[in-house]
Amino acid sequence: MAEATQAYTTYIPRTNLRQQFQSDSKELVDARLNTAPLSGLNHRLQLVSDQAIAMRVVWSLLRAAFGSILAVAVTWLVTFVLKAWQIRSHIRRLQKAGKPVPPHSLLMGHLLQAKAASEELPRGAHSAYVLSRLATKLGAEALYFDPWPIAHPMLTVTDYRLANQATSHEWTGNVKPPTLSRWHAPISGRGGLNLFTQNGVDWKRDRDIFLPFFNGSNLDATLPAIVAEMLTFRDILRKKSLQKDMVLLEPLTLALMNDIIGRVIFNAELKDQTSGSHHPLSKAMLRQLDLKFPENDIVESLRQLNPLWSLEVWYNGRVLDKQIRAQIEKRATAFQAEKREGNHSASSAMLDCIVADYFYQPRHQQSHRIDEDFMAMLCAQIRLLFFAGYDSTASTINSMCYLIWRHPDVLAKLRAEHDDVFGRNTEACSAKIIENPSILHSLPYTTAVIKEVLRLFPPAAGARQGCKELVLRGNDGTEYPTEGVTVQFNHLAMMRNPATWPRPLEFLPERFLVKPQHELYPPKGAWRVFEIGLRNCIGQSFVMRELRMFLALFAREFDFNECYDEVREANGQAPGKRVTSSHSSTAGPTSSFFSSQFLSASPFILVSASLPTRAGESDVANTGNASSRPETAVSQSFPTILGDQDESLLTHSRFQSSFPFSPRCVRHERLRVTVNYCRGVSGALVMIVPAHDEFLWGLVNSSLCPNTKARSRARRTRGGICIQLGSKLSRYRNLSSDFSQCHLIMEAADDRLIPTATK
């Protein structure tokens, strides 16, 4: 019997967790290892007991976690309600004191007012329009606006004199609102601390690190990289313009700015323009901006209260930081390698300059890695500069293309100035900029055009922290206390204020060229795109150089046309209000909202006018005035100039009956005749001269075609003479004989016509 019992008895090693659970303290006692013989039934009972104990433990932990979450939620809710009551009560007190406050709700503040104003605008309109409309309805120079919990309550200023009072104040003029960090947190990370939001010694320390990069010599050194990326952009536009289809300009300019930022900041080629996809660094930054800026930012900005949104912003921010850190470490490793080899060469890239300065400091000379605090600061500041350079500059380029090409007189003057400064060979313009960067400062009219574009399309707004001591005083004597609010400078409303700017909605670059006595002359402090005072924009010189360079390289070669009606018709919509860009933060025009997505680029192609037939018999009065046009326009259709990839430069299948005309008339002193010329998309120069002038034909054939092979390619047609100079002689095609004009086509690489064609 003992043996039988032994056969059915099993000794099972087990861990008997005998726990004493105290519901008050929720403490567990140590387990005790116990090995004992159990029967099968006892074993099952013990397992059930252990499972019951485990379930009690889990349930107790869940209760404790729920209690903690509930406590946090209640604390947050109480804080939220108290903060809301504090803010709403403050705005109500201002309203009772007779200050300009739109109709206010204790529950929603001004969110309902903002929503109603935004519904009067196209979807995606910039919030600056909303505030501007609210101020216009009140008829005040400033208004108190309560968008909490989206943002802190603010005093929105629409008059430059009030803004000058704030920026000239000893304390407010130098202090950014602490609550601004919350707005910037998704952009720069690190709690939103960056050069735009920092104050005091932290701001001065970080600004001193980046400031040397923005001096003149460093900026000049970056021009070759910027020119290279803009030439890539030019080649893309040339190809797209030949497709005779609408070009979405905004994605192209954003890719251009991505590549420029990669070269200038990281010394890296991101190749967003040519690769067909975004670099991982660009992709992460674009995703972060999409999270930050919803299409309808008045209503959809409430999503920032959603914890899942915060989690997504945090996660993508880590991805972005990882990409930026990789670039920083790459440049630090390259610097250390060059330093060991003794062949360190100065680089113009911002990151290379900062890394070199860091390792040259005595306390870091023996280091091989950047410490974590400095790395975190670099990531935050670079994210800010990436955002500022990417979004603001790209949207300003789009605004220039929209405005300038809507005003042919401005475009003609712009092109004339570029002819004077750079010469008429547009292909040589980029080389002249690289060779002599200071030439960009010899463009007063171009600078005035850019400033006028920025006046109408300001890319951002200004902000300062109000205080008890500062009370702004309006022109009518109204006092605006600033305690407890952010003083926000609404650049859109401020720089379209009819009390400051005569004819405020007109595009008049001459505002910035006239003398102080002129009615258009802007008052001091009225134009404040980059803000005024110690906290002005650190990169304004760099931005202005970029914009001047863009116009110098593109204004004479392309025409940009708006295509809103075409887009609406394609979508089955009737022509109506313009729309604003939902991706960019730039405010569009008041009179006709626009989107930089709906602009198309086309080559600057000439349709000539009738010209005098004899040397010395010219009756064309315009000698070098690019804005003037010949009186009699030729009615025939002229062929376009195709790219080198096409078998023929001239073909009858690509006639266009209407171009945005902008003939360029110059005086040829040696031949004493007036000729018209322009450049096509491939860079070719078109020169139109009289068809039946034997004297001119002889000079052209002998002096402009010095080699026998070129002369043999110069043929007469029934309508005139067609000569092509350059390397593509085998692609010569006769022109149609429908019109009596003589066309001279010369490759842009051959510059022999340019020196002799003087004003």
Q: What is the pLDDT of residue 66?
A: 81
The Cα 494–Cα 500 span in angstroms is: 8
- Amino acid occupying residue 197: T
The predicted structure's pLDDT at residue 572? 62
pLDDT averaged over the chain?
71
pLDDT of residue 548: 96
| Residue 3 within any structural domain of the chain | no
The confidence band for 495, taking pLDDT boundaries of 50, 70 and 90, is very high
> What pLDDT score does 586 carry?
34
- pLDDT for 297 equals 55
Mean predicted confidence (pLDDT) in 672-685: 34
The pLDDT assigned to 40 comes to: 62
Using one digit for the tens of pLDDT, what is the confidence trace for 586-632?
333 323 333 333 444 444 332 222 222 223 333 222 323 333 322 22
Angle between helices 540-554 and 408-422 (to 10 degrees): 90
Q: Let me know if residue 49 belongs to a domain.
A: yes
d(CA 534, CA 514): 28
Whether the predicted pLDDT of 424 surpasses 70: yes
Statement to judge: residues 195 and 48 lie in one domain? no
In terms of domains, do 510 and 633 share one?
no
The more confidently predicted of residues 714 and 531 is: 531
357 pLDDT above the threshold of 50: yes
Burial class of residue 402, CB neighbours in 10 A (0-12, 13-18, 19+): buried
Number of domains in the chain: 3
Q: Tell me, what's the pLDDT at 285?
A: 87
Domain limits for position 692: 605-758
524, 526, 527, 532 alpha-carbon torsion, rounded to 10°:
70
Q: Are residues 307 and 216 in the same domain?
A: yes
DSSP character at residue 734 = P
Same domain flag for 574 and 645: no
Q: What is the CATH number for 342?
A: 1.10.630.10
pLDDT value, residue 753: 32
CB 608 within 8 A of CB 676: yes
Residue ending a domain, among 69, 98, 127, is: 98
pLDDT at 150 over 60: yes
Q: Are residues 518 and 613 in the same domain?
A: no
Shared domain check, 615 and 584:
no
pLDDT at 129: 82
Residue 191 lies in a domain: yes
Q: Greater confidence, 91 or 364?
A: 91
Q: Verify that 345 and 461 share a domain, yes or no.
A: yes
Instruction: Name which of 268, 267, 286 is nearest 277 in CA terms.
Output: 286
Residue 72 carries which side chain, given as an amino acid letter? V
- Position 722 scores a pLDDT of 38
Question: How many CB atoms lie under 10 A from the CB of residue 108?
Answer: 15
**401 marked among binding-site residues:** no
pLDDT for residue 379 is more than 70: yes
Among residues of the chain, what percentage have pLDDT more than 70? 66
Looking at the domain assignment, is residue 122 inside a domain? Answer: no
What DSSP line would sit under 544-610, residue for residue?
A: HHHHHHHHHHHTTTEEEEE-HHHHHHHTT--S------SSS-----SSS---GGGEEEEE-----B-
The Cα–Cα gap between 613 and 695 comes to: 10
Higher-confidence position of 470 and 292:
470
DSSP 8-state assignment for residue 731: G
d(CA 447, CA 441) in angstroms, rounded, equals: 8
User: How much is the pLDDT for 302?
Assistant: 67
Q: Which of 229, 219, 224 is nearest to 353 (CA)?
A: 219
Are both 382 and 521 inside the same structural domain?
yes
Query: 348: which 2 tokens?
Result: 């113009």
Chain segment 105-145, per-residue pLDDT in tens: 888 888 888 888 887 777 667 778 888 888 888 888 999 99
- Tens of pLDDT, residue by residue over 206-247, are 999 998 888 888 888 899 999 999 999 999 988 887 776 777
Please write the tens of the pLDDT for every residue from 439-457. Answer: 999 999 999 999 999 999 9
Q: Which of 553, 586, 601 is the last residue of a domain?
A: 601
Residue 636 pLDDT:
27
- Give the whole-angstrom CA distance, residue 662 versus residue 606: 7
Final residue of a structural domain among 83, 98, 113: 98
Whether 42 is covered by a domain: the verdict is yes
Looking at the fold, whether 480 and 580 belong to one and the same domain comes out as yes
pLDDT category at 389 given cuts 50, 70, 90 is confident
CA angle 166, 169, 174 (to 5 degrees): 85
Q: Does residue 492 fall inside a structural domain?
A: yes
Q: Which tens digit of pLDDT belongs to each residue from 326-351?
A: 999 999 998 888 877 776 666 778 99
Q: For residue 407, what pLDDT is reported?
A: 93
Give domain status of residue 130, yes or no: no
Quick one: pLDDT at residue 139? Answer: 82
Identify whether 144 is part of a domain: no
Evaluate if residue 751 carries a pLDDT over 50.
Answer: no
- Other C-beta atoms closer than 10 Å to the C-beta of 692 total 13
639: Cβ contacts below 8 Å, ≥ 6 apart: 650, 651, 652, 654, 655, 735, 736
From the number of C-beta atoms within 10 Å of its C-beta (0-12, 13-18, 19+), residue 612 rates as: middle
* Same domain, yes or no: 654 and 539: no
- The answer on 173 and 69 residing in a single domain is no
| Radius of gyration of the CA atoms of the chain, in A | 34
pTM above 0.75, yes or no: no
The yes-or-no verdict on residue 323 having pLDDT over 90 is yes
Q: What pLDDT sits at residue 301?
A: 67
If asked whether residues 251 and 325 sit together in one domain, one would say yes
Neighbours of 646 (CB within 10 A): 14
**pLDDT score at 242:** 79
State the pLDDT at residue 228. 94
Please tell me the predicted confidence (pLDDT) of residue 344.
63
Res. 300: pLDDT tops 70: no
